[in-house]
Amino acid sequence: MVAHYPVPIQEDVRDLLVDLLGRGVAVDKVPARPLDDDEPGAIAEFVTDDDTTAALCVLDSSFAVRVGAALVLVPANVAEEDLAAGEVPDHHLENVREVVNIFGRMLNSATTPHVRLRDLHRWPGELSAEVRALLDQPEFRRDFAVAVEGYGEGRFSLLVA
């Protein structure tokens, strides 16, 4: 199925993360896995200029914490302690917000409506009907496993309208 917006491949995601984090990153396509109400994470919501939800990045807690920590050079052992606590602390969410904001550029092209990051929602948490609808029935989905050198692995999914 063809998506309405560009959907980056793993090499594009890897190159972006290497540039942002300044360290080695491996990215692989992986099978989709259902969103777990008991596993903390985050959902980045991208909207068009008329505020229609166009795409979502669903981040597991490992991705959010490890990438957020790597961005600002928080020691890996501190990130692991935060993961062991079973939640995604605000400071990691703010850091990973910067990453997904820049990632949003990859969802734009000259032939598609412009999209931008609207918000980074905590998961589990309250979501708008539009976000729920796209979570339930994306037109296109791509899932990635990401390993950040010195920090470990995490997963994220890109769901596109």
Q: Is 3 within the bounds of a domain?
A: no
Q: Is 5 within the bounds of a domain?
A: no
Total structural domains in the chain? 1
Q: Is 45 within the bounds of a domain?
A: yes
The CATH number of the domain holding residue 56 is 3.40.1550.10
Q: Is 4 within the bounds of a domain?
A: no
Q: Is 87 within the bounds of a domain?
A: yes
The parent domain of residue 56 ranges over 10-29+39-160
Q: Are 35 and 143 in contact (CB under 8 A)?
A: no
Per-residue model confidence as pLDDT tens digits over 49-98: 999 999 999 999 999 999 999 999 999 999 999 999 998 999 999 999 99
Per-residue model confidence as pLDDT tens digits over 100-130: 999 999 999 999 999 999 999 999 999 999 9
Euclidean distance between CA atoms 98 and 96, whole angstroms = 5
